[in-house]
A and B are shown apart, each in its own frame.
Chain A
Amino acid sequence: MVVAKNGLKRVVIEPVTRVEGHGKVTILLDEKNKVQQARLHIVEFRGFERFVQGRPFWEVPVLVQRLCGICPVSHHLAAAKAMDRIVGGENLTPTAEKMRRLMHYGQTLQSHALHFFHLCSPDLLFGFDADVAIRNVIGVIAKFPDLAVQGVMLRKYGQELIKATAGKKIHGTGAIPGGINKNLSIEERDGFLKDLDQMVEWGRGALKVAKDYTVEHLELAKEFAAFPSSHLSLIREDGAMDLYDGGIRAITADGEKIFDHVAPEKYNDYIAEEVRSWSYMKFPFIKSLGPEEGWYRVGPLARVNTCDFIDTPEAEAARKEFMAVTDNKPNNLSLAYHWARMIELLHSIEKIKDLLHDPDLQGTDLVVKGERRGEAVGLLEAPRGTLFHHYKVDENDQVTMANLIVSTTNNNEPMNRAVDSIARKYIDGKEITEGLLNHVEVGIRAYDPCLSCATHALGQMPLVVELVDCEGNVIDRRSK
């Protein structure tokens, strides 16, 4: 902790742990330890938008997924969706679309399982300010071995699905412009069907843990980084949740529609990005509301809020229970992200079940092509939220422009609001302890940010919290 010339103290949490990517939090305190400002800074920088320029367009889905090692499938598929339009092949064959969906649901399953069981469960199972020596994944394995194993096995199942559809568990090549390069063999299908019932059961169990925690801690959830916001996600034509495709819907904190069923290629008319000097991560906003009021949440909470229904029975029943907690109005509690995430985890398993029983997966019609285009947008609901890929391709087939708005980038302002709100509530005027600072990280973790992706960056993973005095000096710094 450092006292600056202006008398304000600065606390730094660096690195923020149990998140994907590298970031830090700074908290400015006055002489009475009152919080003046708290911010989440993203300190990584990546250059993917620049270095895909000049590359042939069919290479992009494979190249750009290297943004991330956690959910590369999201970038792979979003880029492939854009390139489908470049080759005029956006109306995929049933086999191609279903193989891609299977890949995507497998990914959502593994990513959500990773986050819930391994990244956030230590906070929920042991308490936000429990002894840091046990508040980690090793502690979970020691005290809740069954849960830890379920997390590993659910992840494995998802990863195996990715391998069966993309060729590799990480950074595969399955989706190609206008389709997919393989189908699912009967042997592969039967291998997955064998373990399916177990996955359904574990998915139900995870959902119950997340739901029970939220319901039992509802008073805490209502004051822990709870703030109204708009919500944004893709939505199917009939209003159902759709993680792979659809138009864009944005709603207010009260559930009023701001816009609906916006075609992906029109995203630029509705969303803009603002740059701030203290972070490498941009701040997207809804144009009609302006940069001050136009920020929104994305991800599991936003998706459960925006959809009219979920098209799988168990997830839909869970959604109804979820919405009942807030009288069927949008839920604006950051901690409710965990519950929403587990609803999606079960939804993904239900979808996988439907797909595995669909004979289209054994089809052999894999690729379609049509009229060539020079510009295209691909949107996808990645595990962490809406992912935008926008490309221009010249007549020589080379990419001339790329713009990516990555899921976590959309949640930049909400995460900063969460950090500020938690700092003011829990740190204001108190002596700083590791447990108190972990509250800030718990708030960030609820959003399951992928900081590496958000800046399209390369570099290390972790995060830092800084406490800064009124003169800008760092007075305390926590890094792990």
Chain B
Amino acid sequence: MSNTITFMIDGVEIEGKPGQTIMQAADEAGIYIPRLCAFKGLSPYGACRVCTVMVNGRPQAACTQPVAPGTVVENDTERLQHLRGNIVEMMFVEGNHYCMFCEKSGNCELQAMAYRFGIAAPKYPYLFPERDVDASHPDILIDRNRCILCGRCIRASSDLDGKNVFQFVGRGKDKQIAVNAEARLADTDIDVTDQAVSSCPVGAILKKRVGYAVPIGERLYDHKPIGSDIEAARTAGS
């Protein structure tokens, strides 16, 4: 059995390895497929659907779809970028995302994704849900207003931290992130160094008392768009 699998992304021939997802192979080839729930080191999840690509003409999540020989993948097309942009807009209106004073601003993957898609303001009506803040832990804060239900914290806690701090509860619009305790984050065994904290793509799980310490101009996405690190690999390699 060959240890390379050849397939196409947007007309470019890519060599993947058996067991890889389309996203993993694309990353290695320097092709950026937008994503929010996928995170290096975590098992594929397929929650956010921002990584949707067309595989032989059918929509699939690039983070969960394995590479297969001869498949034709569409990624950077106008239609897909439009659909992905709509998903991001829906995330904005579903929560309470006030980038203008959020401490994650400039380092936030959701905000950076919106900039990458050129979203100035969502076209959908805001839902303004009532969500709470759990500041009970001495070093960590959960602001559910900003949660996009990506599930990174759930997977990071169980798969990387060896704990089981987070879980989803509720269904549909009432779905939210809950803690594995009677009521509060303070009652769990989470630690501020846990990857469940650092993997949050938005300002929903935060390390306390360090907000705004990085000046504007030096934040992660102040000068380069999200995904440019992956694309840089392609530029350097080509």
Contact = CB atoms under 8 A, between A and B. Distances in A.
Given A56-B135, A56-B141, A398-B133, A172 B216 contact: yes
A313 interface: no
B74 to A, nearest CB: 39
Contacts, number: 55
A58 B210 CA distance: 8
Size range of the chain A interface in the assembly: 20 to 34
A397 interface: yes
A173 B208 contact: no
B132 to A, nearest CB: 9
A62 B103 contact: yes
A176 interface: yes
Interface in A24-63: 54-56, 58-59, 61-63
B135 A58 contact: no
B133 A397 contact: no
Contacts of B236: none
A168 B217 CA distance: 9
A58 B209 contact: yes
Interface residues of B, number: 19
B211 A58 contact: yes
A396 interface: yes
A181 interface: yes
Contacts of A55: 133
Nearest to B135: A396
A52 to B, nearest CB: 10
B214 A181 contact: yes
Contact of A182 (B101, B135, B210, B215): B215
Interface in B96-148: 100-101, 103, 133, 135-136, 141
A54 to B, nearest CB: 6
A171 B100 contact: yes
A181 B133 contact: no
A397 B216 contact: no
A167 B217 contact: yes
6 contacts: A55-B133, A87-B209, A176-B211, A176-B212, A397-B135, A398-B133
Interface string B205-227: 01011111111111000000000
Contacts of A166: 216
Among A54, A168, A396, the one with the most B-chain Cβ atoms within 10 Å of its Cβ is A396
